[in-house]
Amino acid sequence: MAGPSLVIRFGAGRITLALDDDTVSGLPACSHRDIAAGGDITPAELSALFSDLLREAVPMPNRVTVIHPVAWDDRHHTAMNRAAAAAGLIGPSFLIGPLAVAHSVATGLRRRRAAAVVTLSGPVAEVAVLVRTRNGFRILGQPSEVLVPHTPEGRRRVVGELLTTVSGAGLTAERLAGVFVVGDTEPGAPLAAEIQRTLGVPTSARRELENAAVDGALTAYPRKRRGVRRRTLVAAGAVIALVLAAVGGAGIRGSAEPAGPRFVTTAPPVPAIAPAPLVHVLDADAGTLTTLDTATGTSSPASPVPAGEADWFKLTPDGRTAVIGNVDGLTLVDTATRKVRSHVPLPGTTGSVIAGDGRTVYALVWPGPGEQATIVPVDVSSGSAGTPIVVGRQAGQLAGGRGGNLFVLEPAQRTAGDGVAGGARLDIVDVAAGSSKSVPLHASAREIALAPDGRVLFVAADRWLGPYDTVSGQLRAPIEMPGKIVSLVVAPGGRSVYVLCRVKPDASAPTVTSAPTVTSGPTVVSSGAGSAGTVAVAVDVASGRIRATIPLIGVGNAWRLSAAPDGKRVYVYGSTDVPVIGWIDATTDRAGPPIKVGAQPWEILHRADGSAAYVLTQVSERKSALVTVNAATGRAGRAFPLPPGPVVIATPG
């Protein structure tokens, strides 16, 4: 008689051990260990950890199945095989997360039909395209991962990566039977809506990623016992039931989800005599807006605003108007009275930029496939929408600054019908003239950041940073980073751009290499290899040269950057495995000691003079707090509890 089957899942900051034994309920016995075990773990570290996990398994399993991140490779498999052999076990079976999930959520797929699975776990989205076989599923093409998938820009990056993965599998979106979005604690409905609207493919959204992955692994590799029924983590048709949406994105957005995000943003006083320690708190689901005074700890009475989803929450530079945006349009709120001034219906809105003078909000609108994206100017005082400016073929990341120009990064896509891969594009929008033009970019272009004076726009593409001269309209020679670019931010003074990179343990960048550009560019001097983990790179804007590579110790899997308004500090945050934020002294380009903030740092915003940072921490899915950090001393101060519910914040426009 065969022994039990053990499933070990390496998730974001947590390892799950599920032992499928003869229990009364017929369900696996699950235990967890909170530990950092992401894609950057070395094979040696993994071998020791895996041996420890096997010692915890009682009784000793007959079969071991490992669910691991897409980023792991043969070295990690070898390390676990050796650890299993030392424990007297046959080598484990390996499944990447999306493949395990497919065995749970996509079993109704007909044979030879293809589908895509997108998993959301912590700060990472993993994407895979699979085809149904007689015995299970087979991966098509190369699975991939995307960082920062929980913001509007992050969702667009996930969609772009999905299109690239589908193209790499030799398919077009039209050949997909469906897309399955499965999240851990993150809301997957907004991403599912954007995928369905972009690809025109039925897309489902659901939670319970851990259950789906473990259940799928037990389905893929069942116990060798005749007559034993397949064990599942939950009853069929209950919590993990899959509802495949065949309607538009609005239908998906209406699917069952926990209370949506709450948005927080700082506000300078009106009139601005000195920077006031005020924070506006928007609960979009409950439909309330309050103002928190961090000096006294008091909050204003909650004021009603239209309840519903909110993808972003920004303030005009003078702090007088709050802009709430979602796929249906914009809502303008007077922050002094906390009353709605006007609602601007713009179906298909994906992002917005507030003009420097605060008089106009520019909304990026894309109704869907087959339609052109447009920029719609909205007058802040009256709420009236102006004449749309045609931009490009799809939505993307929107950036704006001085000089009257806006920039839209369109991710690479697969051109429907002709089988030709469409590269990424940079759309330059002249709002004064009401016209736009496009510049081709490398297919891996995923993020842009504009210098404060608007003269240089930086484009991140894999491990390359490409400066675009907005005055001459020329792409300069790209700069090679020591690892894949995770995030970037231009310091307010415009002297430096800081780039956050993920460096593999065996990273060994060549000294001179060819740049991945659409034109025949010159060779580029590399920054050289970095150590395992995360590093920040300081790039001089004027010369386009790397000034320093800054190791970041103790910040975990941080994936975001935020620059203080005075330009003195750059903060590193977003880690799901350590409750700290990192910081860089922008004068010396050196990292300071991490600052403990008590829980996962989800967002950072700043007091207008840069004297304090406000860190939004996520204690749990339903509990958040706002922690003040003194920029001069680097010490965390008072923590202000926020109303129950998941919280997301946005800095003022």
Question: The domain that contains 9 carries what CATH number?
Answer: 3.30.420.40
3-state secondary structure of 489: strand
CA distance 539 to 491: 10
579 assigned to some structural domain: no
| Partners of residue 64 on adjacent β-strands | 6
Q: Max Cα separation, the chain?
A: 79
Say if residue 241 is in the same domain as residue 160. yes
Say if residue 69 is in the same domain as residue 128. no
Burial of residue 268, with CB atoms counted within 10 A of its CB: 0-12 exposed, 13-18 middle, 19 or more buried: buried
pLDDT score for 644? 65
581 assigned to some structural domain: no
pLDDT score for 218? 86
- Pick the last residue of a domain from 96, 124, 156: 96
**CA–CA distances in Å: residue 127 to residues 108, 158, 197, 436:** 20, 8, 18, 32
- 74: phi then psi, degrees, rounded to nearest 5: -60, -30
Note whether 496 and 538 are within 8 A (CB). yes
Say if residue 81 is in the same domain as residue 203. no
Say if residue 246 is in the same domain as residue 120. yes
CA distance 303 to 282: 10
Q: What is the secondary structure of 167-219 as a DSSP string?
A: HHTT--GGGEEEEEEEESSS--HHHHHHHHHHH---EEEE--HHHHHHHHHHH
> How many Cβ atoms sit within 10 Å of the Cβ of residue 634?
16
3-state secondary structure of 480: strand
User: DSSP code of 526?
Assistant: B
158 assigned to some structural domain: yes
233 assigned to some structural domain: yes
Domain that holds residue 30: 5-96
- 207: phi then psi, degrees, rounded to nearest 5: -105, -155
Say if residue 118 is in the same domain as residue 155. yes
Note whether 327 and 348 are within 8 A (CB). yes
Say if residue 218 is in the same domain as residue 130. yes
Note whether 189 and 385 are within 8 A (CB). no
Closest CA to 447 of 493, 376, 500, 495: 500
Note whether 197 and 368 are within 8 A (CB). yes
For the CA atoms of 575, 577, 581, 584, what is the dihedral angle to 10 degrees? -70
412 assigned to some structural domain: no
CA distance 648 to 260: 9
Per-residue tokens: 578: 């350590």
Contacts of 521 (CB under 8 A, 6+ apart): 475, 477, 478, 515
pLDDT score for 399? 93
Say if residue 84 is in the same domain as residue 172. no
CA distance 37 to 19: 20
The sign of the torsion formed by the CA atoms of 474, 480, 481, 483 equals positive
- Where b means 16+ CB within 10 Å and e means fewer, 580-604 reads bbbbbebeebebeebbebebbbbbb
The sign of the torsion formed by the CA atoms of 431, 432, 437, 441 equals negative
Closest CA to 236 of 254, 219, 258, 253: 219
Say if residue 212 is in the same domain as residue 127. yes
398: left (phi over 0), alpha (psi -120 to 50) or beta: beta
For the CA atoms of 382, 387, 390, 394, what is the dihedral angle to 10 degrees? 40
33 assigned to some structural domain: yes
Say if residue 60 is in the same domain as residue 171. no
CA distance 505 to 571: 24
Note whether 504 and 546 are within 8 A (CB). no
545 assigned to some structural domain: no
Q: Tell whether omega for the bond before 149 is within 30 degrees of 0, i.e. cis.
A: no
- Residues (pLDDT < 50) of the chain are 1, 22-25, 37, 224-263, 266-275, 415-421, 507-531, 650, 653
Residue type, 287: G
Say if residue 131 is in the same domain as residue 73. no
Say if residue 61 is in the same domain as residue 175. no
Q: What is the pTM of this model?
A: 0.64
- Pick the last residue of a domain from 253, 283, 304: 253
Cα 29–chain centre separation: 32
pLDDT score for 304? 83
Looking at the chain, how many residues does it have? Answer: 653
Per-residue tokens: 448: 């842009």
The helix/strand count (H/E) of the chain reads as 7, 50
Closest CA to 202 of 149, 145, 245: 245
Say if residue 126 is in the same domain as residue 60. no
**CA–CA distances in Å: residue 73 to residues 107, 164, 482, 605:** 26, 21, 20, 37
User: Whole-angstrom distance between the N-terminal and C-terminal Cα of the chain?
Assistant: 65
For Cα atoms 530, 462, 353, give the angle at the middle one, nearest 5 degrees: 120
pLDDT score for 563? 95
290 assigned to some structural domain: no
In the chain, the number of structural domains is 2
Note whether 239 and 29 are within 8 A (CB). no
Per-residue tokens: 139: 């991966």
Q: At what angle do helices 97-105 and 209-220 cross, to 10 degrees?
A: 80
> How many Cβ atoms sit within 10 Å of the Cβ of residue 386?
14
Helix (H) or strand (E) holding 420: none
Strand spans (E) along 63-110: 63-68, 93-96
**CA–CA distances in Å: residue 319 to residues 117, 173, 537, 570:** 42, 43, 33, 23
3-state secondary structure of 443: coil
Q: What is the secondary structure of 282-322 as a DSSP string?
A: EETTTTEEEEEETTTTEEPPPEE---S--SEEEE-TTSSEE
